[in-house]
Structure formats: C-alpha cells, structure tokens
Structure 1
C-alpha cells in the first residue's frame, strides 16, 4: 500500500512539473511573430505599442491642449492602430500654383522611428531616403529630384500625418482660443518643439479640430529649416486645409491638402499649393535592410 501511494505521489508531482513547464513555454505562433517583427522593419512589437500609447495618453491628458490632441488621435482611428498597422505607404504630389517645383514621389515611412524611403514616379530606381541618422540619394538623373531631398524625406508625413506624428518627445502644446472654420467651431492647439528636436525645431503648427467630431480641419504652420534661412527666421505663416478623410485600415487620413496664405482675419487667403495624396496603404512586410543606405547611394550632409 505504501508503494502504491508513493508511486501516485511521484506521478502527481511529475504532472505538476510538466504542467508548469507547459505554461511557461511560449506558444509557437508567439515565437514566430516575435522573430518576424524583429527582422521586419514594417512592424513593431505589440508590447512596444502598448507602452508608447499608454505613455502618450498619460502625458497628453495632463493638460486641456493635450486632451484635445488625444481626442483628435482617437477620432482619426487611435494611436495604437496607427502604429500597429505597419509602415505607411503613399504617393505625395506637391504642386505649387505659381509654377514652382513639383515634388512627386512614392514613399514608405516607418511611423514610429521616422525612417523613410522615396521612389521617383518616373523611374523607381531613382530614390532617396532617411535612415534615422543619415540622408541619402541614389539617382541616374539629377533632374529626378530637383529639390532638397534631405528636407523632403520626412516633410510629407509631417504635413499629412497629424495628429499622430505629435505623440513623442520634445513636443510642447498650448491651448489657443476657439475659432470658426467654414461655419463650425474649432478647438485650437499650438505645437512647438524643444531645442534639438529634428532639423527645424523653430517650426510650429497650429492645429484646428472640429469641436464636435474632433477631426482635424486645418493646420497653420511655418517653415524655419536652417538651410533655407541661414540667418534665422522663417517663411510667412500658411494655413493648410484638410481635404476628404479616407479610412485606411481603420485610420482616417486626408487624400488631399490645400495650402493658402493666411488671410488678415486668420482664415483661408490665396490658394497657393495643391497636394494630392493617393495610393495610401499600410505595409506589413518589408526587407530587413529596406531603410538602410543602398549601394552606390550618395550620403547627404
């Protein structure tokens, strides 16, 4: 009888050890997903997303200006969806109405670490990009990109990616008085940047959100890029009207933007630039070296 109980006890202990090991062992699909994310620059781990979203929400909800920005993010689909969908791909065609340089490229942007790769619409082998540390260009024809590609690598996402692009470090928010825009009351938040944030920390944006829907309606902004303004200063303030919002994998993004000079009353003045944003999609698979400097590319200082 004693031996029977001893065997039963040993069997129970073995089962308990086996069960604990099984609980601790990660599921095969989880391991596969982590490996895939680690080597795939289009995706970021869910745990990272949760941590960043929780941090952004906590910081933004401390102030009324931040709360308006957070409501805007939620109305546009949510910060977690923005990061979780993958890299953002789109065609951005910037067309000045005064005959200035048209800027037209396909691009794929890593939305959480601000890496970019652009392709010429005429020849996809002509490219430029930003690795997060270095700007580069690779082109057979100097006329393919007749503009400052270092400046332009991330400019499109900072024009069409509001309010999501304002969740990180170095962002300062100020609540401004409500305004009327196209017959509707808008909440207004001014965004400035801490010194050392990006290539143009003196830039600012003034975002207008519909007070009822919390959707972005217009953005006032300046350009202070030091390469353009070597002695300091900035371009005159403009106001950019947000076009139709389209749903892309649960995120609302504009399919067009119209830039105007700011009127004396602070509204839409002369229409000076039209921007078409097409072929918008999120990409979940990219080569591991997608954002690295390609062979024979020139590094831009």
Structure 2
C-alpha cells in the first residue's frame, strides 16, 4: 500500500512539473513573439511632422475625438473612437454612423436619400481633420515626391499610398506637404475615387495653416479648400472652421455608434 501511495504521489509530482514546464515554455514563447514584433517606423521627415503636431505617442494615447462644423443647414457634430474607428456624423438632415462593423444612416428629411454613400461619409471629414496622424495607420506606403511650390515657398512632399484591401478606397493617393522650417503640415493633395465622373488620378487640394492645440495635440482650426489644375492648387474656394474640439484618453461607449431603430444599414 505504501508503495502504491508513493507511486501515485510521484506521478502527481511529475505531472505538475510537466505542466509547469509547459507553462514556462508557453510564457517564454509569448515573450519571444512580443520581442520579435517590430515597432512601427516612419520616414524621418514624416516623424518630424508628427513631432511638430504633438508626437505620435501622444496621439496614440488618445481614445476619442469630437468636433463641430457649421454647415448651411446647421451644426454638424462628428465623434470618433480612435482605436476602433467607430464613428458618428450628426446634423439636421442626417445621422451617419459606423458601429465597428457596418455603416448605417438615418434620413431626417422627407426627400430622397442615397444611403450607399454612408460607408464613405461616416469618416470622410474625420479623415481630413485627423491629419497628419491618420497617415500613421497600418497598411500605408510612403515615398518622397516632387515638392509643391506655391507663392514663392517650396513645400517638400510625402506621398501616401495604401496596400490592397485597406479601407473602402485603397486606390486613393495622398500627398502631405509640410513647411520646410517648422515641419508643420501645410497642404494635402488627394485623389477622389468614390464620386462618379471625377478624374480619379488628379490631385485636389486643402490647405492646413491654422492650427489649435488641444490636450497636447496640434489639430486644425480651419481647413481651406482650393481650386486645382495640373496637380497644383490655384485659388482659395471655401474655408471650414472647427469648434468644440475634444480629444481625450477615454473612449466613447459603443452604444454611441449603434444603429438606432429608425436607421438602415448601408449596402
């Protein structure tokens, strides 16, 4: 009996040691994976642009962004969870959202409504507003490009293209032009691919030269749309002002972005 009990005890001890060994091996394996995961690196000039706007570390510590734009029909409020990219656009004519998986819309008017555009519109102005940090997303390719010369000033450029399958329009191309002295972003050239009848290769332009610091991050106070010709800006056309800007390290509840009962999912 004593030999039997001793054998059982020895077996239990062996199994326990074996399990501990497996746990230690698994832990070491996880640590090795973590150590081998490369950090995201950016071109030196783009890193300097990020730093001029508060730094990528500061941006990545933020969880939500909200801002207001004055439109002809009233105020439009845009709210985004920065990590999940859940989004909500709300104005007197419509509500458009993204719940983390699908885009949805609510038509607040009696007229016809193109719900198919919701999947492009829910993050359209967020994308423009979150410049230059939004250009630090995964799946992006960078290359130096020909500088922009405007009113006697030469602005160096960084071209941004996307890997296949990134976003709704991976064929889009962006060019960030920055101030050669301050490294602050000054211009954005971009193609438009989701609007029928528009040249998908021609660069459109918006100017970023009026900034405001919010919670340590330099964000646009105004963005000015410009006319364009031959991939160059021509004259100022319209200005959009951004107010009630909030960027925080707390995410909004997911219920904020859930489709309401009256809403419809975009096709």
TM-score tier, shorter chain, comes to 0.7 to 0.9
Q: Separation in 1 of the partners of 2:83 and 2:47?
A: 17
Unmatched 5+ residue regions in structure 2?
1-34
TM-score (norm. length: structure 1): 0.67
Alignment of 1:77-226 (within 5 A): 77-93=54-70, 105-120=76-91, 122=92, 127-142=95-110, 148-225=117-194
Query: Which structure dedicates a bigger proportion of its chain to strand?
Result: 2
Residue 12 of structure 2 corresponds to: none
Q: Separation in 1 of the partners of 2:110 and 2:45?
A: 44
Unmatched 5+ residue regions in structure 1?
1-50, 61-65, 96-101
Residue 212 of structure 2 corresponds to: 246
Note the alpha carbon deviations across 1:5-30, whole angstroms, 9 max, x for none: xxxxxxxxxxxxxxxxxxxxxxxxxx
Contact residue 176 and residue 188 of structure 2 kept, 8 A? yes
TM-score (norm. length: structure 2): 0.75
CA 242–73 in structure 1, closer or farther in 2 if over 3 Å, else same: same
- The 4+ residue runs of structure 1 with deviation greater than 3 A are 92-95, 142-147, 177-185, 270-273
Q: Separation in 2 of the partners of 1:278 and 1:119?
A: 15
Q: Separation in 2 of the partners of 1:76 and 1:275?
A: 20
Residue 268 of structure 1 corresponds to: 233
User: Secondary structure, in 3 states, of the residue corresponding to 2:128?
Assistant: helix
Contact residue 217 and residue 241 of structure 1 kept, 8 A? yes
Tell me how far 1:185 sits from its aligned partner. Answer: 3.4
Note the alpha carbon deviations across 1:225-268, whole angstroms, 9 max, x for none: 2xx349x952742111114100011111111111222245x543
User: Secondary structure, in 3 states, of the residue corresponding to 2:47?
Assistant: helix
Count of aligned pairs between the two proteins: 229
